[in-house]
Structure 1
């Protein structure tokens, strides 16, 4: 079982395979992450590890987090993430550094992150509704139309697809192929797109 890692989205580009076909790829800066806590069934009721990413100054962050890390003599980090992990599978210890070497070319990964926020959006953009007639007499070009029956039920059912806030939600893209791994620069190149904009923090799950 591989350790999942935190990283950042650097941007997108394209690479060419042996047949000369252009492949759209996303470049990720993954890790290095540090193991900040190990939980066991005896002590916590379940097996898990907590990793930290992106070092900070000693005084930055909340006092609770600084105290939590200082208890195990761990450098101050900005992001913490916990994952279920069977501790007996590997000889892990607090303070151990985990790098992009966990991933191999050809493996498939899932990438989770916050999608790009698009603000308040209407029906067509948010739910792919079709528009109204565009002829001269029509006054229903991008309006919603009826949203329910009248006296019965006398209300709009919860979950009705309407205009509202779009994007900026946690999204996961599954089964992305790893094209290249650069352990020296902590770079991971994967096929396709991942959620969020450049600089967003993403969470990488190894499917292997």
Structure 2
């Protein structure tokens, strides 16, 4: 499972690390120099590999992993047959031609990853220690739903004036369209509407610590979503360039 950086490139190799988890909450720790570091605790793994897709059979290469067992009373027999070998006569007859099974319980949270783990087998269990030596990760989750919100909360508008002359529209957005031409509201106009409950990714979060015994991953900063929601953690492929001077637009002496 190679995950080293390609020399001279900002992208990772095909063996990026990825894992499913659940947001536990936020806390703070003290660095060696006494600095207070805000961190988010993520319960990452264990995640069994439930399926390996190949270009010959499926047209693309990917692995499917799951997180957190689902109660059997909530799972149909056909769903259980996707991850475990059933005892039925017809199921045993089809076992030879079917893809290998992971032999685990159906999972609550299932995702596919492309371009991760150069070599992975069905039934292999991925734990949080795959992130050893990884400096930064991208965490994807679902933001908190805030219902219907106005433009001041949703988009940060300043609203109307609070002085004389404004009648009960202090938090309104104002005009929304053009004149007679084009006589319509353009698509994408920032207006009031549903706010939150969207997929969001926080990139380049620094890995602060790993607790192998309790399958915990500590990352610096905030992670989208409420406590207890599922998240996807993946080794970042957007490396920040450190020490590169920003262009100033000034030509060097003697340059044409």
- TM-score range, shorter-chain basis? over 0.9
Q: Could you tell me whether the CA contact under 8 Å between 1:10 and 1:199 is conserved in 2?
A: yes
Q: What residue is the counterpart of 1:98 in the other structure?
A: 126
SS in 1 for 2:129: helix
Separation of aligned partners in 2, 1:193 and 1:52: 24
Mapping for residues 96-135 of structure 1, pairs under 5 Å? 96-104=124-132, 107-135=135-163
Q: Structure 2: any 5+ residue segments left out of the alignment?
A: 1-14, 86-100, 238-256
Are residue 78 (structure 1) and residue 108 (structure 2) matched?
yes
Q: Structure 1: any 5+ residue segments left out of the alignment?
A: none
State the shift of 1:194 in Å: 0.3
* Residues 72-92 of structure 1 deviation map (CA, whole Å, 9 limit, x = unaligned): 1332211211011367x32x2
State the shift of 1:64 in Å: 4.4
Q: Which has the higher strand share?
A: 1
The aligned length equals 206
SS in 1 for 2:83: helix
4+ residue segments displaced more than 6 Å:
none
Q: Could you tell me whether the CA contact under 8 Å between 1:61 and 1:78 is conserved in 2?
A: no
* Residues 147-198 of structure 1 deviation map (CA, whole Å, 9 limit, x = unaligned): 1123211211111100000000000000000111001100011100000010
State the shift of 1:132 in Å: 1.2
State the shift of 1:95 in Å: 0.8
Q: Could you tell me whether the CA contact under 8 Å between 2:109 and 2:230 is conserved in 1?
A: no
Q: CA 1:174 to 1:86, structure 2 compared with 1: closer, same or farther past 3 Å?
A: closer
Q: Larger relative CO (CA 8 A, sep 6+): 1 or 2?
A: 1
Moved more, 100-109 or 185-194: 100-109
Moved more, 190-199 or 50-59: 50-59
Using the size of structure 1 for normalisation, the TM-score is: 0.92
> Which of the two has higher C-alpha Rg?
2
Q: Could you tell me whether the CA contact under 8 Å between 1:38 and 1:49 is conserved in 2?
A: yes
